[in-house]
A and B are shown apart, each in its own frame.
Chain A
Amino acid sequence: MSADQTLIAYTLRLADNALILAQRMIELVAAEPELEEELANANFALDYIGQARMLYSHAGELEGNGRSEDEFAFMRDEHEFRNLLLLEQPNGHFGDALVRQFLFEAFYLHLLEALIACSDQGLSEIAARAIKEVKYHNRHSAQWLVRLGDGTEFSRERVQASLDNAWRYTGEMFTGDDIDVAFQRDFDGPNLNAIRDLWKRDVERTVTEATLRLPDEQWMVSGGKQGQHSEHFGFLLAEMQYLQRSFPSATW
């Protein structure tokens, strides 16, 4: 894989993460427990759609074949998406969706920090913009994790189960493959081992404050970054892509 191909593949992974998480979040519109959370959820999902659009456009420019953001989002098949499995998991209840957000963003925050320093100017600029949004999201989800953990007996048990269930998807964030290795080498990209340590430290701190316990070391599921998704993913794409696929020549 050439350096250019590495950069495109890496950018698309980031874009897919942002889009797929946004798509799951917007399923929650009009279903939040409080009106204030409606605003927060919609706002954060909008941030992710914005990030996805910037990242797809950047990938399209790098590729140089005129592929638009919408072609990346709506005209690729399941196996061509390279998002983390964690992000495509169904929403479940408020605690499940919150834990997914918390675990990912605690990682994403450090990833963006590292990306600001990467040698690709486009990605660096997008990361600098995104990190401001994600810092805010991260504070919001950490506060909720503490409220649910240190709330009622019921909420503690419930969110502990959410944490236990989501944990198996966290390994994939830190398991570097050829693209991660090449991106680190050729573009001064993130060191995933270093990020794992920072993530673990931050997650542990919030989990402790929330009076929860970190799940035990366990087997980790992976495959999203290589295009091998869970069964849920096909349905997500079918819904998201339906209009573009039904009217392939139309402009919207």
Chain B
Amino acid sequence: MYTQGLDQAGNDKQSGVETAEQLAAFQKRVDAEEKIEAKDWMPEAYRRTLIRQISQHAHSEIIGMQPEGNWLTRAPSLKRKAILLAKVQDEAGHGLYLYSAAETLGVSRDQMVADLLSGKAKYSSIFNYPTLTWADIGAIGWLVDGAAIMNQIPLCRCSYGPYARAMVRVCKEESFHQRQGFDIMLTLCRGTAAQKAMAQDALNRWWWPSLMMFGPNDTESKHSAQSMAWKIKRFSNDELRQKFVDVTVQQAEFLGIRVPDDELSFDPESGHYTFGEIDWQEFIDVVAGNGPCNKQRLEKRQYAHNEGEWVRAAAQAYASKQAARAAA
């Protein structure tokens, strides 16, 4: 899954002196599609941009476990339960690779986790919406993972090597998740009238938040131009959003459910769908902490962290004793 990390406010103060020669040499490497590795020289702003983006991506994976975890105990068949659990486990694994990738840039996992728990760090706004029915699990896989894949496939070619390599593995798993989500939707749409209504209701609630996952319009996107120049980002928010709409509308038609947008129409000239305006105020509100579940998601994470404190302390104490015993 994905975070709108690139476009979240960041305070990129440059520290130290970076000469024009250094910056030019760095840009030349990026332009030549060389991978930048952890020990290579890089501009401080590049480092900070990546730390922000990768850590927000990691946090999104961790918080994203909650809305889906919400249906684990109630999954309607053992097969679906196993698939959903495997998916949630994958998300924990993605969180782990991504924290590791961010650590190569000189920030500790403890620090990143502390920033998440204090509310300082952001995660994808999509996870601040509730999963109210089983169909939401289908919609998340189909739409949210679908949007994530659009965003993440270009990241496999990101200029920063450790991130690009982590994304190769993440993308393989995401594409499996997307197919599973679509399969849930298809089963519901071919099922009883009540199941189909459940699928339509889920599409109604998840459609617009999924479009918001691509971040603000290009004209409003603050960090995009620099990220594109550094080849962290390969396509603009609006380009990716359009691609998502083009693919997904046809899938909705196949499912026989309606995309909740009265302005949606196919433009034969451009070969693309045109669609209505996103409610950007809602997006701003959710990013600012005022979504339906922001408080709940963060509190659950804080609670788990605090409840686990004694366990981590015990593991640390045991490790210290063992080290002392080995030294004695």
**Listed stretches B8-16, B189-197, B238-246; interface member:** B189-197
Give the A-binding residues of B (Cβ under 8 A). 62, 65-66, 69, 72-82, 85-86, 88-89, 92-93, 95-96, 99, 134, 184, 187, 191-192, 194-195, 300-301, 303-305, 307-318, 321
Chain B binding surface, main DSSP class: helix
Residues of B within 8 A of A56 (CB): 78
Task: Kindly state whether residue A36 has any CB partner on chain B within 8 Å.
Answer: yes
Give the B-binding residues of A (Cβ under 8 A). 19, 23, 26-27, 29-36, 38-39, 42-43, 45-46, 49-50, 52-53, 56, 69-70, 73-74, 93-95, 146-148, 150-152, 154-155, 158, 239-240, 242-244, 247, 249-252
Residues of B within 8 A of A53 (CB): 78-79, 82
A152 and B195: CB pair below 8 A? no
Q: How far is the CA of A247 from the CA of B134 in the complex (A)?
A: 12
Residues of A within 8 A of B79 (CB): 53
Question: What would 19 more interface pairs be, CB under 8 Å, given A27-B73, A155-B313, A243-B134?
Answer: A30-B66, A31-B304, A35-B62, A46-B85, A53-B82, A70-B78, A74-B76, A94-B308, A151-B313, A151-B314, A152-B314, A152-B317, A155-B311, A158-B310, A239-B73, A244-B77, A247-B194, A250-B194, A252-B184
Chain A binding surface, main DSSP class: helix
B77 and A33: CB pair below 8 A? no
Q: How near does chain B come to A41, taking the closest CB pair, in angstroms?
A: 9
| Shortest Cβ-Cβ A-B pairs, 7 listed | A33-B308, A151-B314, A155-B314, A42-B89, A252-B76, A243-B76, A33-B311
Query: Which residue of B has the minimal Cβ distance to A36?
Result: B96
Residues of A within 8 A of B191 (CB): 250-252
Q: What are 21 sample pairs from A and B whose C-beta atoms fall under 8 A apart? A: A26-B85, A30-B304, A32-B308, A33-B307, A33-B311, A34-B312, A36-B96, A38-B92, A39-B93, A42-B88, A49-B85, A50-B82, A53-B82, A56-B78, A73-B78, A148-B314, A152-B313, A152-B317, A155-B317, A243-B134, A250-B191
A49 and B78: CB pair below 8 A? yes
Residues of B within 8 A of A155 (CB): 310-311, 313-314, 317
Residues of B within 8 A of A93 (CB): 307
Q: How far is the CA of A247 from the CA of B311 in the complex (A)?
A: 42
From A35, A56, A93, A240, name the one whose CB has the most chain B CB atoms within 10 angstroms.
Answer: A35
